[in-house]
Amino acid sequence: MADLVGIYAASHGPLIVRNWDVLPAATRSTLTTAFTELGRRINAARPDVLIVISPDHWVNFFLDNLPSICIGVGETHAGPPEPWLAAFPHKQMAGHAALAQHIAAHACDHDFEPSVSYKLALDHGFCIPLWKANLDPLPAIVPVIINTVEPPLPSPTRCIALGNAIAAAVKSFPEPLRVALLATGGMSHSIGEPTMGAIDEAFDRECLQHLAAGNSDESRNTLLKFLAARLPAAGNGAAEMRNWLTAHGAAGAVGFDLIHYSAMPEIYVGCGVAAWAV
């Protein structure tokens, strides 16, 4: 049987790479420390496979074909197509088709109907955390795309349930694999809006407190009420917190450990890195 050996989350702001050389030294140091610790924890877990949950930033899908959830079931995945990520060290990344197909089948048996793709290009949302965390070796990747770009979006409740389903699928996979999960995106940020560059630090910090509160019915309901009231006003990029909620669901909503948080207007993101106990 497969084991779920680690669950993590990290922001993926493009300026972490695009503007790296001109960011303040203190910002580079803070980001390096946070991503190094993320990589240390993932490497220590020794995953054979890493499920990575991220949006698609108009690379694989557009308005004529925009699934709410898509699982990459290919044997390989292409590296990022963005020119400013040309130095990303992996032009192709190994997938794990058997586990990906198992997750998709399990989802269909448990009230989800995800799309599947045998051919995905993994954009900056996937690749910035993988790169900055310096994973060695890079595990096989099972990409899970959640639409956080164009409404209608999956509800926070649905994302937590998806995380539950992914964890159950992993644990029912018959091969002896070590599997970890990395959610990417968020926290508060605004892109292409009049509020572009604004960060809602109060939202971010209160959201982190709710994630740390555990998995009682009361704490879950409080988290969902908080998100219903505050998430829409935290910037369009804050929709990516749905990826964190999926990780939260996979962890059974327990054991949240904040590795780092900073409001970073220089990269347009409330930048968080976290892990859950498994």
- Please report the pLDDT score of residue 192 as a whole number: 85
- Please report the pLDDT score of residue 75 as a whole number: 98
189 is a catalytic site residue: yes
Across the strands, what pairs with 263?
A: 270
Yes or no: say if 24 and 198 are a contact pair by the CB < 8 Å rule. no
Instruction: Reduce the DSSP state of residue 109 to 3 states and report it.
Output: helix
Report the alpha-carbon distance of residue 69 to residue 147 in Å, rounded: 6
Yes or no: say if 40 and 136 are a contact pair by the CB < 8 Å rule. no
- Please report the pLDDT score of residue 98 as a whole number: 98
Among 189, 210, 248, 260, the active-site one is 189
Report the alpha-carbon distance of residue 195 to residue 216 in Å, rounded: 35
Report the chain (278 residues): mean pLDDT per 10 consecutive residues: 97 96 97 98 98 97 97 98 96 98 98 97 98 96 98 97 98 97 97 90 98 91 96 96 98 97 97 96
Among 96, 124, 210, 248, the active-site one is 124
The Cα-based distances of 140 to 4, 45, 131 in angstroms read 14, 14, 14
Helices (H), the chain: 15-18, 25-45, 97-109, 124-132, 156-172, 201-211, 217-230, 241-250
57 is a catalytic site residue: no
Q: How far is CA 109 from the centre of its chain?
A: 24
Yes or no: say if 189 and 238 are a contact pair by the CB < 8 Å rule. yes
- Please report the pLDDT score of residue 159 as a whole number: 98
Report the alpha-carbon distance of residue 121 to residue 231 in Å, rounded: 29
